[in-house]
């Protein structure tokens, strides 16, 4: 994929309409079919993602599409209501998995694994209304990378952020920003501002809406809906509207209120160390310490992060506008212990790549800039005259046996023009033509579909010639 220039506001608006467009029948609401062209694009994305995961030493993992209901419940905060529950199956209460993190934690506990680095690709299901999800479907694919085990602080966390950086760069999606925060800083901030313990979770969910909603609306929700005292909400507002780099971390370490809270100090200390490692990895220009980042899932215990694409400013001096999260993750040190009979904890940190939003963006760009070949076929075996089916079958078998990706039309006597049209429609670059004269001369005529140039190749060299041309393309 070639790198594209910045998108205009009109282009982003067109993408938004595409994301919000309801799926066509007969798919269920919030799901969609993917045709051959779309599958090629998805495979390109997944190849780039998996290649990065493997480069960092991850092993593959898969878990069932459904879990015992008790495994999933009470892990996602208010989003637990979005879990798809299944009917009683022979005495088992089951539910479709909501994400890949909880099944991974259950897998570690079940198999008594204390150290693992793995990637996990699979579909998940959420009972959301597709009319309000803005590109989030009820069924979608997640690509997760996780590191489990006891290690020195912030080293695996820094690697997870580096992986997000590498993947977004490789996919050439445009400018992006990775926001980081720490749940301990949030909890410490809530405590020093005077939030009652029983409202931490509700206030955290409200804070996470900043960016989607204005501070005025978030404050109104805190005060009017949750019942927080106005002065407490104002105290929170002073903190969560701040963002910056390591200098903000250092500033908050000296904050008169936060510096008196043990949890906040621990979180700020780890973030300072994280920024030191991210500097060594050379990615701090894409990292922002954002105190409004909350990540609503209950299982996060430490560092959290979220990557967003940035819309190019229309006028000089404007702030870049976020156009949606494309990756997220964080540290969840207590989740495995929830599934262990003895409560033994295995510290974990991980990330999830948002394939659906990335897919929509890459799909629109590729359709606008390049013809998408829907197959990987390298050569079509064709005949210019009738009664050459057996010769075509012999030749294609020879090509298949040599590992060449080849096709032929499933007709005894297809017209030559039909065979050439098929190549043009599907993007097949070469045609291997056999006819009476070629058979008599012991050659195969090799035709380039793009240039229409034809050359006779001795039959015994046809495999070598096709392989040479494919290696050069």
Query: What residue ranges define each of the domains in the chain, with the CATH number in brackets?
Result: 36-368 (3.30.930.10), 379-472 (3.40.50.800)
Predicted confidence band at 248 (pLDDT cuts at 50, 70, 90)?
Answer: very high
pLDDT in the model for residue 314: 44
Q: What is the DSSP letter of 225?
A: I
Closest CA to 328 of 160, 128, 105: 160
pLDDT in the model for residue 16: 52
Average pLDDT over residues 385-399: 96
Predicted confidence band at 357 (pLDDT cuts at 50, 70, 90)?
Answer: confident
| pLDDT surpassing 50 at residue 365 | yes
Q: What is the DSSP letter of 80?
A: G
Sheet holding 406-407, edge to edge: 406-407, 379-383, 430-434, 443-448, 454-458
Average pLDDT over residues 255-274: 96
Phi, psi of 147 (to 5 degrees): -120, 120
| pLDDT surpassing 70 at residue 351 | yes
C-alpha to C-alpha distance for 460 and 142, rounded to whole angstroms = 47
| Binding site, annotated residues | 99-101, 126, 142, 146, 295, 299-300
pLDDT in the model for residue 373: 75
Predicted confidence band at 266 (pLDDT cuts at 50, 70, 90)?
Answer: very high
Predicted confidence band at 290 (pLDDT cuts at 50, 70, 90)?
Answer: very high
Cα-Cα-Cα-Cα dihedral sign, residues 224, 227, 232, 237 = negative
pLDDT in the model for residue 472: 87
Quickly list DSSP for 166-193.
HHHHHHT---EEEEEEEHHHHHHHHHHH
Write down the H helix ranges in 172-295. Answer: 183-193, 200-207, 215-220, 230-240, 246-253, 262-281
pLDDT in the model for residue 23: 47
| Binding site, annotated residues for L-histidine | 99-101, 126, 142, 146, 295, 299-300
77 or 264, which is more confident? 264
pLDDT in the model for residue 323: 55
pLDDT in the model for residue 375: 85
CA dihedral angle for residue 339, residue 164, residue 200, residue 73, rounded to 10 degrees = -30
- In the chain, pLDDT over 90 holds for what percent of residues? 67
13 or 33, which is more confident? 33
pLDDT in the model for residue 46: 95
| pLDDT surpassing 80 at residue 311 | no
pLDDT in the model for residue 3: 44
What is the average pLDDT score of the chain?
A: 88
pLDDT in the model for residue 404: 97
| pLDDT surpassing 50 at residue 313 | no
């Amino acid at each position: 994929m070639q790198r594209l220039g910045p998108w205009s506001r009109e282009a982003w608006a067109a993408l938004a309409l595409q994301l919000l467009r309801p799926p066509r029948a007969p798919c269920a609401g919030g799901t969609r079919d993917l045709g051959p062209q779309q599958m090629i694009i998805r495979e390109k994305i997944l190849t780039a993602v998996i290649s990065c995961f493997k480069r960092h030493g991850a092993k593959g993992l898969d878990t069932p599409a459904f879990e015992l209901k008790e495994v999933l419940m009470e892990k996602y905060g208010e989003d637990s209501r979005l879990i798809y529950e299944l009917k009683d199956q022979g005495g088992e209460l089951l539910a479709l998995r909501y994400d890949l993190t909880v099944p991974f934690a259950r897998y570690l506990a079940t198999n008594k694994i204390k150290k693992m680095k793995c990637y996990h690709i699979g579909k998940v299901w959420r009972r959301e209304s597709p009319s309000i999800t803005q590109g989030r479907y009820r069924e979608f694919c997640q690509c997760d990378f996780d590191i489990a085990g006891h290690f020195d602080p912030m080293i695996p966390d820094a690697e997870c952020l580096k992986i997000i950086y590498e993947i977004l760069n490789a996919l050439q999606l445009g400018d992006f920003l990775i926001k980081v925060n720490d749940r301990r800083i949030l909890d410490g901030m809530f405590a020093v501002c005077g939030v009652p313990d029983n409202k931490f979770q509700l206030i955290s969910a409200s804070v996470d809406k900043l960016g989607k909603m204005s501070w005025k609306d978030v404050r109104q929700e805190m005060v009017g809906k949750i019942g927080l005292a106005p002065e407490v909400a104002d105290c929170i507002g002073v903190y969560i509207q701040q963002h910056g780099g390591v200098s903000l971390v250092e500033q908050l370490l000296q904050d008169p209120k936060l510096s008196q809270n043990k949890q906040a100090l621990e979180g700020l200390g780890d973030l300072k160390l994280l920024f030191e490692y991210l500097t060594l990895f050379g990615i701090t220009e894409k990292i922002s310490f954002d105190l409004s980042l909350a990540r609503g899932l209950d299982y996060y215990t430490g560092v959290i992060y979220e990557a967003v694409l940035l819309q190019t400013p229309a006028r000089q001096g404007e702030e870049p506008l976020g156009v949606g999260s494309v990756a997220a993750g964080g540290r969840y040190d207590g989740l495995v212990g929830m599934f262990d009979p003895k409560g033994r904890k295995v510290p974990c940190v991980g990330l999830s790549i948002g394939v659906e939003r990335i897919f929509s963006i890459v799909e629109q760009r590729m359709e606008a800039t390049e013809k998408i070949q829907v197959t990987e076929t390298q050569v079509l075996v064709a005949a210019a005259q009738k009664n050459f089916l057996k010769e075509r079958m012999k030749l294609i078998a020879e090509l298949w046996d040599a590992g060449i990706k080849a096709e032929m039309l499933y007709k005894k006597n297809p017209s030559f023009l039909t065979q050439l049209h098929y190549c043009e429609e599907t993007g097949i670059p070469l045609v291997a033509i056999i006819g009476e004269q070629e058979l008599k001369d012991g050659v195969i005529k090799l035709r380039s579909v793009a240039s229409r140039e034809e050359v006779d190749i001795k039959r015994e060299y046809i495999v070598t010639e096709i392989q040479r041309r494919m290696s050069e393309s």
